[in-house]
Structure 1
Amino acid sequence: MDDDNTMPELAAVRDQWVGVEFDWTTFEMSAENMVAWAKACGETDPRFIDPSHHDFQAHPGFTTHCMSGRVFPKEFPQIGGGFGIDGGKRVEVHAPIRSGDTLTATTTIADIFEKTGRSGTMIFIVQRMEFRNEAKDLVSTVDWKMIKKAE
């Protein structure tokens, strides 16, 4: 911010922050948690709810619950008004996630843009979390959208 009353230009924030990695963490995949998630989603396919199934794996949406705790990079500027709301998630599955896997997740700012609609202009901040297994294979990508009212 230039001073206490001025918001940074969105284009400048986008240029500076899109592509910046800002968080790294690991997650242990357990059959118990994988089954609980799948059942909570109403899943009935044995691949997702039966650990003895020959192709047992995590439900495609499983990584959406894996959060690291950091929402933005430390020096990320305040843009838009308020705290923001969850604008949904997009999940891309690249390979099966197996019980016993340790996933390493890297978080980046994937996009920052604005849209104008019935509620006025809204700012969208997209965070991308990429999950890799021990072999460094990309297994899942999750994009989270935060929506904030433009001021």
Structure 2
Amino acid sequence: MRTGLDSAFEHAHRMIGTTTRRNLGTLRAAESVAFARASAERDPRFLDPGRDDFQVHPMYLPSILRGPDGADSEEYRPDGMFADEVPGTAGLDVRLLAGGQNIEFCSAPPLGEPIEVTRTVCGVDRKGSDGREFLLITVSKTYRVTESVTLAIVTERFIVR
């Protein structure tokens, strides 16, 4: 009997090597400061855009999944995640969990510059046994100032049950 996990594996496997691109808009100080506050940041460089040494919080960049306008309601799964965030799972009755993240920071994120992210599906592996099987899907995201400076490279793993 074919399961949602089988379908997710097949869909994700077909997507290996596929790269998508998304425009995230421009980084704005207000959103970066709100992120820093929500993260309990205390360093004033990340909290006061009036400072000469103000910086976008480095973790803000990989937290952006959509541009400043967010998403339309049909872009969400019933569990609240974006339907396309975990490759191969859109429309399937599976549970999704974060499975880890590695981040390589390359350049400081600039305010007011258009940012884009490219995402490449790197792999999908079956894990577990005895009815406790799950998938581990790996994707790589590269955040750039549109078509030029690389800001961060993020490798994410997602658990699909």
Query: Shorter-chain TM-score category?
Result: 0.7 to 0.9
Output the TM-score relative to the length of structure 1. 0.73
* 1:112 matched residue in structure 2: 124
1:133: Cα distance to partner?
0.9
Query: 2:34 aligns to what?
Result: 36
Aligned-residue RMSD, C-alpha: 3.3
How many residues are aligned here?
142
In the alignment, structure 1 segments of 5+ residues that lack a partner are none
Deviation (angstroms), 1:41: 0.6
Match in the other structure for 2:85: 71
More strand by percentage:
1
Q: Trace 1:55-94 onto structure 2 (pairs within 5 A).
A: 55-68=53-66, 69=82, 70-71=84-85, 76=88, 82-94=94-106
Aligned to 1:51: 49
Amino acid aligned to 1:71? E
Cα distance between partner residues in 2 of 1:144 and 1:32 = 27
TM-score (norm 2): 0.69
Judge conservation of contact 1:56–1:98 (CA < 8 Å) in 2: no
User: Contact conserved, 1:27 with 1:66, CA < 8 A, in 2?
Assistant: no
Residue 126 (structure 1) aligns with: 138
Task: Report the alpha carbon displacement of residue 13 of structure 1 after superposing the two structures with TM.
Answer: 5.5
Identity %: 22
Unaligned runs of 5+ in 2: 67-81
SS at match of 1:126: strand
